[in-house]
Amino acid sequence: MLLALGLPGGLPAQSPSPAPDFVLINQDGARVSLHQFRGRLVILTFIYTHCPDICPLTTAKLVRVQNELKKRGWFGRKVVLLAMTFDPQRDTPAVMKAYAAKFKVDHSGWHFLSGDPATVMKVVQAYRVPVRPSARPGRIDHGLPTLVIDSQGRILGFYNPDFDPQDVVRDLTHLLGS
């Protein structure tokens, strides 16, 4: 369940905090800002495409969320998914697009974001995502929150990496009042 939102099974509700805005580049080379999604719920996660374990697992879980949202007619219209890299030197828009294609991501409501390293790292730090080089070559040690941002651009809460996609759909249903 969504942590810090106060939904059934979650932690007690806390005051929503403003989500730091950003402008990054999506898988098609288009500029994307968080602000442009005002009026919709946003699911924001952080990944890197060379991650061998939790990032692809999280992406696969969010594809299940995507598919359920599409069935309900909410995908892209009421809910948008964003996946931001914390490895922009390797995760170019083309690499992000190829990664998303492996998972059959629908880009009508899901953007894979990258940009110049300084900008990406400022955003990662603004969201307090722990990231550091790993002792294992080519790997990055990182946290993996999946955040829920409301239609006014406020962080409502987050999911840990072991989330159940059905819990996400249930929480979104509650938030949308449907």
Helix/strand/coil for 30: coil
* Per-residue confidence in pLDDT tens, the chain, 178 aa: 554 444 443 333 468 899 999 999 999 999 999 999 999 999 999 998 998 889 999 999 999 999 999 999 999 999 999 999 989 999 999 999 999 999 999 999 999 999 999 999 999 899 987 766 666 777 666 667 899 999 999 999 999 999 999 999 999 999 998 6
Range of the domain at 91: 23-176
In a domain, 44, yes or no: yes
- Two tokens at 2? 């969504």
Strand runs labelled E in 39-130 = 41-47, 79-85, 110-113
Q: Are 63 and 173 in contact (CB under 8 A)?
A: no
Q: Based on the structure, what is the number of domains in the chain? A: 1
Give domain status of residue 62, yes or no. yes
Give the domain CATH number at 114: 3.40.30.10
pTM: 0.90
In a domain, 107, yes or no: yes
- Whether 145 is covered by a domain: the verdict is yes
